[in-house]
Amino acid sequence: MKTYFVGGEPEEIGEFAGRHVLAEFSGVAAELLDDVEFLCESLERALRKAGATVREVTSTRFDPQGVTVVALLSESHASIHSYPERGSVFVDVFTCGRRADPELAVQLLQDMLGATAARTSTIHRGQDTR
């Protein structure tokens, strides 16, 4: 395993293991789920607070409603797919290595969206030696 420095912090590269968190939130205000800027900023803030290194965030707003946001991470990726007409959203956060905490990112995002209900599952991927 090699150690690289990203932003002054040592980062382990090459560990073939990670956690993939899949979530569904409901009870979210429709106006939040149709606000591209809010969703991009919220996803990026949640990921950074959870220790992920955000490289790029891109988004698309659909007509008549709905937003998809995708974040490219040094550790892997994250996405949001919103359904304002249902007050619901799908969230996907996958991080390799041990630096970032995808469960924390999902919890922070749930709080930021004010979701009244959530279903989450975590899949352990790769060869985790912990």
Stated pTM of the model: 0.88
Q: For the structural domain made of 17-126, what CATH number should be given? A: 3.60.90.10
Which residues does the annotation mark as catalytic? 76, 81, 96
Exposed / middle / buried, residue 125 (Cβ in 10 Å: 0-12, 13-18, 19+): middle
DSSP state of 66: -
- Which residue has tokens 């790029």? 56
Q: What's the CA gap between 5 and 28, in Å, rounded? A: 38
**Domain range list for the chain:** 17-126
- Which residue has tokens 């956690």? 19
pLDDT-derived band at 127 (thresholds 50, 70, 90) equals: confident
Predicted confidence (pLDDT) per residue in 74-105, tens digit: 999 999 999 999 999 999 999 999 999 999 99
